[in-house]
């Protein structure tokens, strides 16, 4: 038996039936991710990034190919692959604490007190303990996403999946959440797959930036290792050669080799 | 963001350092807490709370009262002639004085336990009889309607199979079911309850189904990622997400059942507010009929508000 990476996607293709016949969103994606690695998936809208993430989470079934996690085949969603959704998708009728609690009750077997402490501990990591009894409707977008992050990491997932987690936030809030994610990642060393549109976000947060070609039948175009030392500070790092180089490489890929299909059509 | 924080810190440290280093007069800045206090913490001069509530209530009720007074005046003026077919408000007051003032006629209290005599009873007793029937019929319709609504909201196959059926059946007027109902149940009591049930269930089914179908896909995905079992998904996600729709259906349903009970009792006779109307019409006591109409309207209004209130309470808690 050959040795597989911790998270291994082998020959994944996804075809959706549509009115105009089958549409191939992903064609033949192979991706290997090591334990503790932070991978950013970047590409233009509609290139199948979300589909790929959904295949890993199990929310979408691959038409062909297999996903292995720790040598087990993934075929359905489960709490070992926690998702941070773009729209945070907290349940509006539950308080902050209850939202995280729902996830903890599904994943942690232990006494009531233990589970409660674990909920609080994770909300502390995202600095949201001041809002335990608030409902999502009373929170700003950034705070909601902090709770969304707490809910996901509280599940102690084997893989943490982020679907454009900060896409709906303003630039300043986004920066502070990116810092929060880096801080948490430094402690927990999760295996993370994050979708993003933002070149700086990808280079700042990730160990690897995986660039996807335009659909249909999108696949991986380039796989760039970001060798910046951690902890990374957004201001210091921005002037280093490695950062500037990585950024330029991703920009070149997105805007020259695989420019936005909408722009080309126009 | 970091630079903003630094700037704030600088401002705060300025007065102290200035005080120490310079001997000249320094105008101290107000302490940070005083500057940062949000405006809502400062007390606002207002009317005493009870007076405020009373004036709010008056402002809400007054326009209705004025319109009501005007209507009564016009009615009185139009129907004051002795031969008028429609009795005037003052004639209703004198002729139906007994019905208006003694709604609990025929009820005797032994301590707190009421017992109802047979025969001639007050209008409130008829209303209570009708309400008891509504409680049973509507209760059954609520349970059955929510169950069927969840079924067709959740399953595409069930929706395709049942929705056309429901769409046709819901247009059948409740009274049209009466002959069938009587034939099947052979008795008055169960067939009136069936009538209420059949009148109330359609809006409950259709609104619940619409609510289930409107659950945002991301909530479903949360349920899948958390691997909730079907029962957990139902109680933790589907039910709370559907409550507002559900109660829209229940509110329409309770209104429908109140319409149906009055009609059913008119046809069927015996007891209840519908029977009271029919009876007073047959006895040419038109003024009693009008009093009953007012009662029906007020009770129907109250039912609607109660169901709406429960719905809001649950939606807040859920």
> Does residue A184 lie within any of the structural domains?
no
Closest Cα to residue B277, out of B263, B260, B261, B289? B289
State whether A77 and B227 contact (CB < 8 Å). Answer: yes
How does B152-189 read in b/e, with b if 16+ C-beta sit within 10 Å?
bbbeeeebeebeeebeeeeeeebbebbeebbeeeeebe
CATH number of the domain to which A60 belongs: 3.40.50.300
Q: Let me know whether A218 and A150 are in one domain.
A: no
Q: How far is CA B198 from the centre of its chain?
A: 20
CA atoms within 13 A on the CB side of B62: 6
Q: What rounded mean pLDDT belongs to chain A?
A: 91
- What's this model's pTM, rounded to 2 decimal places? 0.76
> Does residue A185 lie within any of the structural domains?
no
Helix axes of A141-154 and A96-107: crossing angle, nearest 10 degrees: 20
Q: Which residues contact A181 (CB under 8 A, 6 or more apart)?
A: A149, A165, A205
At B189 the pLDDT is: 85
Q: Report how far apart the first and last C-alpha atoms of chain B are (Å, whole number).
A: 37
Query: Which chain B residue has its CA at the smallest distance from A100's CA?
Result: B226
Q: Annotate chain B with DSSP letters as a single string.
A: -HHHHHHHHHHHHHHHHHHHH--S---PPPPHHHHH--GGGS------HHHHHHHHHHHHHHHHHHHHHHHHHHHHHHT-STT-SSPPHHHHHHHTHHHHH-TTTTEEEETTEEEEPSSS--HHHHHHHHHHHHHHHHHHHHHHHHHHHHHHHH-HHHHHHHHHHHHHHTTS-GGGGHHHHHHHH-SHHHHHHHHHHHHHHHHHHHHHHHHHHTS-HHHHHHHHHTT--HHHHIIIIIHHHHHHHHHHHHHHHHHHHHHHHHHHHHHH-SSSHHHHHHHHHHTT-HHHHHHHHHHHHHHHHHHHHHHHHHHHHHHHH-
Q: Let me know whether A56 and A38 are in one domain.
A: yes
Strand-strand pairing, A7-18 and A64-69: antiparallel
Q: Let me know whether A105 and A213 are in one domain.
A: no
Q: What rounded mean pLDDT belongs to chain B?
A: 83
Instruction: Note which residues in 1-20 of chain B have CB less than 8 A from chain A.
Output: 1
Q: Report how far apart the first and last C-alpha atoms of chain A are (Å, whole number).
A: 50
Q: Is the peptide bond before A231 cis (omega within 30 degrees of 0)?
A: yes
Chain B contact set for A102 (CB, 8 A): 226, 236
Q: Per-residue confidence at A112, pLDDT binned at 50, 70, 90?
A: very high
Written as six digits, the tokens of B238 are: 């589907």
Question: What mean pLDDT is predicted for residues B120-128?
Answer: 85
Q: Let me know whether A103 and A64 are in one domain.
A: no
Query: Which chain A residue has its CA at the smallest distance from B244's CA?
Result: A93
> CA angle, corner A260, sides to A255 and A266, nearest 5?
120
> Does residue A241 lie within any of the structural domains?
yes
Domain that holds residue A256: 1-80+159-168+190-266
CA atoms within 13 A on the CB side of A39: 26
Superfamily of chain region B123-317 = MetI-like (1.10.3720.10)
Report how far residue B86's alpha carbon sits from residue A151's, in angstroms, rounded to the nearest whole number.
68
State whether A102 and B236 contact (CB < 8 Å). Answer: yes
At A263 the pLDDT is: 65
Q: Is the peptide bond before A216 cis (omega within 30 degrees of 0)?
A: yes
> Does residue A129 lie within any of the structural domains?
yes
- Please say whether the beta carbons of A218 and A47 come within 8 A: yes
Lowest mean pLDDT among A20-24, B25-29, B205-209, B217-221: B25-29
Q: Let me know whether A69 and A195 are in one domain.
A: yes
Q: Let me know whether A198 and A73 are in one domain.
A: yes
Instruction: Note which residues in 179-218 of chain B have CB less than 8 A from chain A.
Output: 216, 218
Chain B contact set for A79 (CB, 8 A): 225-227
Q: Is the pLDDT of residue A114 over 60?
A: yes
For chain B, domain boundaries: 123-317
Q: Per-residue confidence at B1, pLDDT binned at 50, 70, 90?
A: very low
Please say which residue of A156, A178, A208 terminates a domain. Answer: A156
At B26 the pLDDT is: 53
Q: Let me know whether A200 and A265 are in one domain.
A: yes
At A179 the pLDDT is: 92
> Does residue A59 lie within any of the structural domains?
yes
Q: Annotate chain A with DSSP letters as a single string.
A: -PPPPSEEEEEEEEEEEETTEEEEEEEEEEEEE-TT-EEEEE--TTSSHHHHHHHHHTSS--SEEEEEETTEE--S--TTEEEE-TT----TTS-HHHHHHHHHHHH--S-HHHHHHHHHHHHHHTT-GGGTT--GGGS-HHHHHHHHHHHHHHT--SEEEEESTTTTS-HHHHHHHHHHHHHHHHHH--EEEEEES-HHHHHHH-SEEEEE--SSSB-EEEEEE----SS--HHHHTTSHHHHHHHHHHHHIIIIIT--HHHHH-
Q: Per-residue confidence at A92, pLDDT binned at 50, 70, 90?
A: very high
Query: Mind telling me how many Å the CA of A253 is from chain B's nearest CA?
Result: 31
How does A123-156 read in b/e, with b if 16+ C-beta sit within 10 Å?
bebbebbebeeebbeebebbbbbbbbbbbbbbbb
- Please say whether the beta carbons of A43 and A199 come within 8 A: no
At A210 the pLDDT is: 95
> CA angle, corner B89, sides to B87 and B90, nearest 5?
100
Q: Let me know whether A114 and A216 are in one domain.
A: no
A196 DSSP β-pair partners: A42
Q: What's the total number of domains in chain A?
A: 2
Q: Per-residue confidence at B112, pLDDT binned at 50, 70, 90?
A: low
Is A234's Cβ below 8 Å from some Cβ in B?
no
Q: Let me know whether A48 and A134 are in one domain.
A: no
Q: Let me know whether A4 and A65 are in one domain.
A: yes
At B183 the pLDDT is: 92
At A1 the pLDDT is: 56
Written as six digits, the tokens of A142 are: 């950034």
Lowest mean pLDDT among B38-52, B76-90, B119-133: B38-52
Chain A contact set for B218 (CB, 8 A): 85, 87, 89
Written as six digits, the tokens of B187 are: 């008795």
Which residue bears the tokens 């293709």?
Answer: A13
Which residue bears the tokens 């929310």?
Answer: A59
Written as six digits, the tokens of B43 are: 């007390």
Q: What percent of chain A has pLDDT over 90?
A: 71
Instruction: Note which residues in 171-210 of chain A have CB less than 8 A from chain B.
Output: 172, 175-176
Q: Let me know whether A152 and A197 are in one domain.
A: no
* Of the partner residues A87, A103, A106, the one whose CB lies closest to the CB of residue B218: A87
Q: Let me know whether A66 and A107 are in one domain.
A: no
State whether B222 and A79 contact (CB < 8 Å). Answer: no
- Render pLDDT for B17-40 as a digit per residue (tens, 0 to 9): 444 444 445 555 555 444 445 555
Query: Mind telling me how many Å the CA of A164 is from chain B's nearest CA?
Result: 14
Closest Cα to residue A127, out of A166, A179, A186? A179
Q: Is the pLDDT of residue B180 over 50?
A: yes
CA-based torsion, B103, B109, B111, B112: positive or negative: negative
Pick A37 or B43 by higher pLDDT.
A37
CA-based torsion, A129, A131, A137, A140: positive or negative: negative
């Amino acid at each position: 038996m050959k040795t597989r990476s911790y998270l291994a996607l082998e020959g994944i293709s996804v075809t959706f039936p549509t009115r105009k016949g089958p549409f191939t969103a992903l064609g033949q994606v192979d991706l290997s991710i090591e334990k503790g690695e932070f991978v950013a998936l970047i590409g233009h809208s509609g290139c199948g990034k979300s589909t790929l993430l959904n295949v890993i989470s199990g929310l979408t079934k691959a038409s062909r190919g297999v996903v292995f996690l720790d040598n087990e085949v993934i075929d359905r969603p489960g709490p070992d692959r926690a998702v941070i959704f773009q729209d945070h998708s907290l349940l509006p009728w539950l308080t902050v604490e209850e939202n995280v609690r729902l996830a903890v009750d599904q994943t942690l077997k232990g006494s009531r007190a233990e589970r409660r402490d674990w909920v609080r501990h994770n909300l502390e990591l995202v600095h949201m303990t001041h809002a335990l009894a608030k409902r999502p409707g009373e929170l700003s977008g950034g705070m909601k996403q902090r709770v969304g992050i707490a809910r996901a990491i509280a599940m102690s997932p084997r893989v943490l999946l982020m679907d454009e987690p900060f896409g709906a936030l303003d630039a300043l809030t986004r920066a502070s959440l990116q810092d929060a994610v880096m801080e948490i990642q430094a402690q927990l060393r999760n295996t993370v797959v994050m979708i993003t549109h933002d070149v700086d976000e990808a280079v700042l947060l990730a160990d690897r930036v995986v660039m996807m070609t335009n659909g249909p039948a999108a696949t991986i175009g380039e796989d760039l290792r970001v060798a910046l030392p951690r902890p990374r500070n957004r201001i210091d790092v921005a002037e280093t050669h490695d950062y500037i180089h990585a950024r330029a490489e991703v920009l070149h890929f997105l805007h020259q080799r695989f420019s936005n299909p909408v722009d080309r059509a126009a | 963001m970091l630079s903003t924080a630094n700037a704030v810190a600088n401002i705060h440290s300025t007065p102290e350092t200035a005080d120490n280093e310079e001997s000249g007069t320094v105008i101290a800045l107000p302490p940070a807490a005083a500057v940062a206090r949000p405006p809502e913490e400062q007390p606002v001069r207002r009317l005493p709370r009870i007076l405020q509530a009373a004036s709010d209530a008056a402002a809400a009720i007054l326009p209705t009262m004025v319109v009501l007074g005007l209507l009564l005046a016009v009615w009185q003026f139009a129907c004051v002639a002795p031969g008028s077919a429609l009795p005037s408000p003052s004639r209703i007051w004198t002729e139906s004085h007994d019905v208006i003032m003694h709604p609990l006629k025929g009820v005797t209290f032994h301590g707190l336990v009421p017992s109802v005599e047979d025969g001639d009873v007050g209008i409130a007793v008829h209303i209570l009889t009708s309400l008891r029937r509504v409680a049973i019929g509507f209760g059954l319709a609520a349970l059955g309607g929510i169950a069927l609504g969840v079924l067709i909201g959740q399953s595409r196959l069930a929706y395709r199979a049942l929705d056309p059926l429901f769409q046709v059946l819901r247009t059948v007027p409740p009274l049209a079911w009466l002959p069938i109902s009587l034939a099947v149940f052979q008795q008055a009591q169960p067939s009136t309850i069936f009538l209420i049930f059949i009148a109330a269930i359609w809006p409950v089914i259709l609104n619940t189904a619409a609510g289930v179908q409107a659950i945002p896909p991301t909530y479903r995905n949360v349920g899948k990622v958390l691997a909730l079992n079907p029962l957990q998904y139902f109680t933790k996600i589907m039910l709370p997400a559907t409550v507002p729709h559900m109660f829209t259906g229940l509110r329409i349903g309770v209104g429908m059942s109140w319409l149906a009970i009055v009609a059913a009792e008119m046809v069927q006779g015996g007891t209840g507010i519908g029977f009271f109307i029919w009876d007073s019409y047959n006895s040419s006591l038109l003024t009693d009929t009008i009093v009953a109409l007012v009662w029906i309207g007020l009770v129907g209004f109250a039912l609607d508000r109660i169901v709406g209130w429960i719905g809001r309470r649950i939606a807040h808690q859920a």
